[in-house]
C-alpha cells in the first residue's frame, strides 16, 4: 500500500483515509481517539452537524479491532469530548454510530426548511434531538438506510429533497452525495469536508495528541456556522438539464 507520507494530502483529487494513519497509534485508546477525531473532522470543525461511523467487528489491516476497542473505551472517550454518540444499529458483526454535536443538531432543527422536510418524512421536530435520533435509529433498525439521514448529516436540503424525490430540481452530478440543481455550493461544501480531513490528518501526523485532536485536552477552535442551503437557491437556473461537474 502506498504510504500516506508519500502522497501529498493537499492533492485535490485525494481524500485521506484512516488506513493512512492507523499504524501510528499502537495504544488502543489513542488509536480509537485518533480514529474518531479523523472520522468526525468536519463535525469538530463545525462544518457538519454529525457523521456516521461504522465499526466492523474484525481486525483492520493495522491489526486493531475498533469495534472491540469502542466497547471497552468508547463511552469514556466520548463523555470527555465535545461530541455525543447515538447507536443507530448494533449487530454481532458491526456497530453503526452517529457522532454528533448536540448544539448544531439543535440549531438544525430550528431551520424552517429542515422542519418541513422532516415532517414530510413522518418525524415530529418538536420532540427535539433525542426524539429525532430515536426515530432515526428505529428506521435504521428496520434494515434500510432512511434517506432523511442526509438532513442530519448536514447535506444541502435541495440535495436531500431531490434524493427523496420531493424536490423540483433535476439530478446534476455525483459527488460524495447525489447533487441536484446548481452544484456549486454543494461541491464547495464537499471540498470543505475534504479539507477538514486533510487538516486533521496533518495534525495527527505531526504528533498532535489524539485526545487533543478530539477536543478533550483543549485547543478546540471556535465553531463555524453550519452550511445549510434553502430549497430555492436554484430558482434562477434552468432546471431542464444538468450541468456537468467533477465528482469529489
Q: How far apart are CA 172 and CA 180, in angstroms?
A: 5
What was the pLDDT predicted at 244? 35
Q: How far apart are CA 201 and CA 60, in angstroms?
A: 19
- The answer on pLDDT for 126 being more than 50 is yes
Q: Is residue 171 very low, low, confident or very high in pLDDT (cuts 50, 70, 90)?
A: very high
Give 28-64 pLDDT, tens digit per residue. Answer: 999 999 999 999 999 999 999 999 999 999 998 888 9
Asked if residue 239 is part of any domain, the answer here is no
Query: Residue 107 belongs to what H/E stretch?
Result: helix 102-108
Asked if residue 244 is part of any domain, the answer here is no
User: pLDDT above 70 covers what percent of the chain?
Assistant: 82
- List 85's β-bridge partners, or say none: 99
Asked if residue 247 is part of any domain, the answer here is no
Which residue segment(s) compose the domain that 74 sits in?
4-234
Asked if residue 246 is part of any domain, the answer here is no
Q: pTM of this prediction?
A: 0.82
Q: How many helices (H) and strands (E) are present in the chain, helices listed first?
A: 11, 5
Q: What are phi and psi of 170, to 5 degrees?
A: -90, 155
Asked if residue 243 is part of any domain, the answer here is no
Q: What are phi and psi of 92, to 5 degrees?
A: -65, -30
- The answer on pLDDT for 239 being more than 50 is no
Asked if residue 70 is part of any domain, the answer here is yes
What was the pLDDT predicted at 13? 58
Number of domains in the chain: 1
Asked if residue 240 is part of any domain, the answer here is no
Which residues are within 8 A (CB) of 116 and not within 5 positions of it... i.e. 6 or more apart?
none
| Residue 247 or residue 194, greater confidence | 194
Asked if residue 56 is part of any domain, the answer here is yes
Share the mean pLDDT of the chain: 85
- List 178's β-bridge partners, or say none: 174
- The answer on pLDDT for 220 being more than 70 is no
Mean pLDDT calculated for residue range 201-209: 95
Amino acid at each position: 500500500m502506498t504510504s500516506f507520507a508519500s502522497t501529498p494530502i493537499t492533492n485535490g483529487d485525494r481524500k485521506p483515509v484512516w488506513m493512512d494513519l492507523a499504524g501510528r497509534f499502537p495504544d488502543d485508546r489513542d488509536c480509537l481517539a485518533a480514529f474518531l477525531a479523523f472520522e468526525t473532522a468536519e463535525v469538530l470543525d463545525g462544518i457538519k452537524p454529525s457523521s456516521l461511523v461504522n465499526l466492523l467487528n474484525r481486525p483492520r489491516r493495522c491489526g486493531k479491532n475498533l469495534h472491540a476497542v469502542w466497547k471497552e473505551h468508547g463511552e469514556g472517550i466520548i463523555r470527555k469530548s465535545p461530541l455525543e454518540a447515538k447507536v443507530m444499529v448494533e449487530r454481532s458483526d458491526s456497530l453503526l454510530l452517529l457522532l454528533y454535536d448536540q448544539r448544531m443538531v439543535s440549531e438544525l432543527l430550528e431551520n424552517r426548511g429542515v422542519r418541513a422536510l422532516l415532517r414530510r418524512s413522518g418525524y415530529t421536530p418538536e420532540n427535539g434531538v433525542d426524539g429525532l435520533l430515536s426515530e432515526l435509529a428505529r428506521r435504521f433498525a428496520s434494515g434500510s438506510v432512511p434517506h432523511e439521514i442526509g438532513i442530519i448529516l448536514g447535506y444541502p436540503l435541495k440535495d436531500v429533497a431531490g434524493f427523496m424525490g420531493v424536490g423540483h430540481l433535476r439530478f446534476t452530478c455525483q459527488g460524495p452525495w447525489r447533487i441536484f440543481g446548481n452544484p456549486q455550493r454543494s461541491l464547495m461544501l464537499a471540498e470543505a469536508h475534504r479539507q477538514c480531513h486533510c487538516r486533521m490528518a496533518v495534525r495527527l501526523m505531526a504528533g498532535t495528541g489524539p485526545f487533543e485532536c478530539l477536543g478533550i485536552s483543549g485547543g478546540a477552535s471556535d465553531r463555524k456556522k453550519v452550511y445549510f442551503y434553502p430549497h430555492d437557491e436554484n430558482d434562477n437556473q434552468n432546471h431542464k438539464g444538468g450541468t456537468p461537474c467533477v465528482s469529489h
